[in-house]
Chain A
């Protein structure tokens, strides 16, 4: 067997080297070009390695609906706009205009953009993308066919999108849609199953040149004919690691997340740079109000919120690197965060009062609360990897007489069950808390926009007309200040209603070696350095 393997490897090496000789001249030219194009004042690096893991095939339809999947896809697929530290920036579109009070969006495309297969990117592709994506929602789609009235091509470089209703978040949603090539996708009827090599041809700065589902590895190589800023990183590799910090110290990966406990190791060493992430990644406790009537009582949910001590959870599970959840959902780092909403600090007395008011006024022999019909406050809590979080939560809620049975499954199963509402209580953790506050509408007003990201999983069985009206109104409001007031009001209602409990937003630390590569940056609404496209590109 080893001999056979060896022979195969040998054969591969020989054929590869033959191939290389065959196109030696092309190779040389390709290698030189970016070097010439760039000024060379910004540091360049041949290869950056990051912690891997399987996040699906990197087409806009096949990647796994979580940050690590979608950012890799975005390195291959450019969108009309992108995000820098401050906000949206023109990207494939060199400029954009909002017309008719938010009813129309006019994007002017950049000239000379090429797909990775050499064909030019035209307004046709953009029009096709919007139409295709409203027919078959992409993994990270944030609009549906109802939202888009029509897409027209104006001149030869402009695309005019008319939406059915004005929406303040629409620019974000349209602008960040990955543009896909019409000539490849137009005859595809089941995009989720389409995982041929053509499916990952985009117009972005990197090409996918290696993917192994089993090992969770990816290899992304700089696309030499890229229209935009030069790639400072030539190759990005995602490699399997078992211990991130160990791998980072040994130089196997170039960026690692660290906990406060190991921080001193890196903090005082000039060789390393430590960066604190904004709190845009959080855990929330979900109530399945559709199937379980007791969860529909506002008082019950408030009692839960009073019984949970976020500070203890942060101290123990997050080792201090987090900020407590705000009952108004939006995290303190959010631009529209309302600091004055009702907050539920630990108060077992209030929790007890509320539960007694609901009729759960007696305790059984195990100190679990029950009402006169003997209905106990006992729930199954579905979690993914958050077993430790669940254990502390169980302990805390037990003090208020609420029994929790922890049911732990793997992350993907948990996400799927939350999506299908197959749970009683669940904990889910995800990013995206810093996004445009229109996500409140998606979560709480039952307006799912077609995406399947865990950040978008709405709540079954919750309805508050006043909140719905507010959230509908804010999306029509283009005046930033007035919109902020409406969002502030919505946060107050949410804090009173507690349709879900944000537990805490993590503010982890990332560490890297500036001498090796220092281009890392945060997007204005995101928690991860490695997730921004601009982290790998030259900055003006």
Chain B
């Protein structure tokens, strides 16, 4: 398995490899946050708004909280929200797609119309309303984001299942008495998994941006120090663009966010190219 992955990775193009490295680094930073952050991330540890350098590699915000520490811990939130949402959406969406595709008939019709509705709904405004309604907490944000993300894997999985269930080997398995669960586990899941995985990467990128957006609007969890929240506090600082403070307070969380999302996009493109030869050329 591991060898297979390494072989796959070797086929990656340069941006794809770079993306993978960056994500691994972010993952490491998130895991090792307590050890590499030097200063605490939630209480002040220096003079307010001190520029990068000295004891604070990326400077401090207006409360004197170290920015490097905040970014380290913020990586946890971003990754948690990104992959949590993607996993939840892929799991839910995949299941719904399999049910809908395999059963057909009226459950399929109902689910497909539901998906149509979800696609038409503008997601960000509804997310804002829901986030405001359920109150700011990390779990709520993941749930709300997942609620709007499951439709994509669901559609992809359904179309695959429709194709698969007409294949002769599935038909013969059925005549030998294979149950739904057996088929799902042995045949459907391995077939659709690569596609769902590609989708998950893309969804997590989207979720990270959405979480940052909600936090930026002040609808995020005020106690979870995410990158979006740092940006929110920075932009709420009156006249920040007329001072030098934005050069670290705003720039670094923004850079972290951009780099992470671009890396995810590269990886997702790379995987897509492998799974779907039509796109690769």
Interchain CB contact under 8 A, B222 and A258: no
Interchain CB contact under 8 A, A392 and B222: no
Q: Is B238 an interface residue (CB 8 A)?
A: yes
CB-CB under 8 A for A243 and B62, given A388-B233, A395-B43: no
Q: Is A245 an interface residue (CB 8 A)?
A: yes
Interface centre among A257, A317, A387 (most CB of B within 10 A): A387
Task: Determine the chain B residues whose CB is within 8 A of the CB of A317 once the complex forms.
Answer: 62-63
What's the minimum C-beta distance from A477 to chain B, rounded to whole angstroms? 42
A406 to B43, CA, bound (A): 14
What's the minimum C-beta distance from A110 to chain B, rounded to whole angstroms? 42
Q: Closest A residue to B232 by CB, please name it.
A: A387
Interchain CB contact under 8 A, B239 and A316: no
Interchain CB contact under 8 A, A392 and B238: no
Task: Determine the chain B residues whose CB is within 8 A of the CB of A246 once the complex forms.
Answer: 241
Interchain CB contact under 8 A, B222 and A316: no
Q: Which of A142-200 contact B (CB under 8 A)?
A: none
CB-CB under 8 A for A245 and B238, given A319-B62, A391-B63: yes
Q: Which of B185-244 contact A (CB under 8 A)?
A: 222-223, 233, 238-239, 241-243
What's the minimum C-beta distance from B223 to chain A, rounded to whole angstroms? 7
Q: Is B44 an interface residue (CB 8 A)?
A: yes
Task: Determine the chain B residues whose CB is within 8 A of the CB of A245 once the complex forms.
Answer: 238-239, 242
CB-CB under 8 A for A315 and B238, given A262-B243, A395-B43: no
Residue A258 contacts which of B43, B63, B64, B238 (CB distance < 8 angstroms)? B238
A400 to B63, CA, bound (A): 19
Residues of A in contact (CB 8 Å), total 22
A319 to B49, CA, bound (A): 10
Q: Is B245 an interface residue (CB 8 A)?
A: yes
Residue B239 contacts which of A258, A388, A391, A406 (CB distance < 8 angstroms)? A258
A319 to B241, CA, bound (A): 16
Interchain CB contact under 8 A, B242 and A406: no
Task: Determine the chain A residues whose CB is within 8 A of the CB of B238 once the complex forms.
Answer: 244-245, 257-259, 262
A406 to B225, CA, bound (A): 14
A441 to B115, CA, bound (A): 61
Interchain CB contact under 8 A, B239 and A387: no
A391 to B62, CA, bound (A): 12
Interchain CB contact under 8 A, B222 and A408: yes
Q: Is B55 an interface residue (CB 8 A)?
A: no
What's the minimum C-beta distance from B150 to chain A, rounded to whole angstroms? 30
Q: Is B34 an interface residue (CB 8 A)?
A: no
Task: Determine the chain A residues whose CB is within 8 A of the CB of B241 once the complex forms.
Answer: 243, 246
Residue A388 contacts which of B43, B62, B242 (CB distance < 8 angstroms)? B62
Interchain CB contact under 8 A, B245 and A388: no
Q: Is B104 an interface residue (CB 8 A)?
A: no
What's the minimum C-beta distance from B159 to chain A, rounded to whole angstroms? 34
Q: Is B48 an interface residue (CB 8 A)?
A: yes
Interchain CB contact under 8 A, A316 and B242: no
Q: Is A86 an interface residue (CB 8 A)?
A: no
Mask, A397-416, CB within 8 Å of B = 1, is 01000000010100000000
Interchain CB contact under 8 A, B48 and A315: yes
Interchain CB contact under 8 A, A262 and B242: yes
Q: Closest B residue to A244 by CB, please name it.
A: B238
What's the minimum C-beta distance from B240 to chain A, rounded to whole angstroms? 8
A265 to B136, CA, bound (A): 37
Mask, B27-69, CB within 8 Å of A = 1, is 0000000000000000110001000000000000011100000
Q: Is A261 an interface residue (CB 8 A)?
A: yes
Task: Determine the chain A residues whose CB is within 8 A of the CB of B44 once the complex forms.
Answer: 316, 392, 395
Interchain CB contact under 8 A, B63 and A388: yes
Task: Determine the chain A residues whose CB is within 8 A of the CB of B62 once the complex forms.
Answer: 316-317, 319, 388
What's the minimum C-beta distance from A267 to chain B, rounded to whole angstroms? 13
Interchain CB contact under 8 A, A392 and B239: no
Q: Which of A251-275 contact B (CB under 8 A)?
A: 257-259, 261-262, 265
What's the minimum C-beta distance from A411 to chain B, rounded to whole angstroms? 12
Task: Determine the chain A residues whose CB is within 8 A of the CB of B63 once the complex forms.
Answer: 316-317, 388, 391-392
- The chain B residues found within 8 Å of chain A, CB to CB, are 43-44, 48, 62-64, 136, 222-223, 233, 238-239, 241-243, 245
Report 14 cross-chain contacts, Cβ distance below 8 Å, ordered by A residue: A243-B239, A245-B239, A257-B238, A261-B239, A261-B243, A262-B238, A262-B242, A262-B243, A316-B48, A317-B62, A319-B62, A388-B233, A392-B63, A398-B43
13 additional contacts (CB under 8 A) given A244-B238, A259-B239, A406-B222: A243-B241, A246-B241, A258-B238, A261-B239, A261-B242, A262-B239, A262-B242, A316-B62, A317-B62, A387-B233, A388-B233, A395-B44, A406-B223
